[in-house]
Amino acid sequence: MKILDEFKQFVMRGNVIDMAVGVIIGAAFGKIVTSLVNDVLMPPIGLLLGKVDFSNLYLNMSDKVFVSLAEAQKAGAPTLNYGMFLNNVINFLIVAFVIFILIKQINRLQKPATPGTPAAPTTKECPFCCSTVAIKAVRCPNCTSQF
């Protein structure tokens, strides 16, 4: 029973849940990028290169002749699908670029304090009893003196 309690505690920690949400969003984002590559980017590129559909580019590794990749795959012929590989490389580059831009923006928003600049104080010392008091305090909680 102790192992189940430890497992529950592990799963309920914030960073595990954050990671799960990230994986789910990443999967959805991957589908969007795949659609962007296959449905939006590759058709015009293929048109510019002479009406080439990259997903159908393959190298037939058998001695038989096939008209299309689908026909070769249906026959069970060994093929080297370099068109699909090109689509996946472009897909990866788009995802990597978007993640790069996202991380760059997050880092820009979370600028650390300038080195050498001291942080603003959050406490002060009571002049009467020398105890540490919150900076916004108007009365010492220890000796009840007013500042």
Name, in order, each residue with C-beta under 8 angstroms of 124's C-beta and a sequence gap of 6 or more. Answer: 132, 133, 134, 135, 137
Spatial CA neighbour of 95 closest among 51, 49, 41: 41
pLDDT the model gives residue 112: 66
Fold of 2-111: 1.10.1200
pLDDT the model gives residue 113: 58
Residue with tokens 């991957």: 30
**Amino acid residing at 104:** K
Asked whether residue 108 carries a pLDDT value surpassing 80, the answer given is yes
pLDDT the model gives residue 29: 82
Asked whether residue 116 carries a pLDDT value surpassing 70, the answer given is no
Of the chain, the percentage scoring pLDDT greater than 70 comes to: 94
E strands of the chain, at which residues?
A: 59-60, 79-80, 123-125, 132-134
Q: For the chain, give every residue range classified as CATH 1.10.1200.120.
A: 2-111
Asked whether residue 110 carries a pLDDT value surpassing 80, the answer given is no
Which tokens go with 51?
Answer: 């009406």
Of 115 and 96, more confident: 96
In DSSP terms, which residues pair with 60 in a beta bridge?
Answer: 79
> Could you tell me if 116 and 89 are in contact, meaning their C-beta atoms sit under 8 angstroms apart?
no
Average pLDDT rounded to a whole number, residues 109-128: 78
Burial of 42 (0-12, 13-18, 19+ CB in 10 A): buried
pTM confidence score: 0.52
Question: What pLDDT, in 10s, does the model give residues 50-104?
Answer: 777 777 888 999 889 998 888 998 999 999 988 889 888 887 888 788 778 878 8
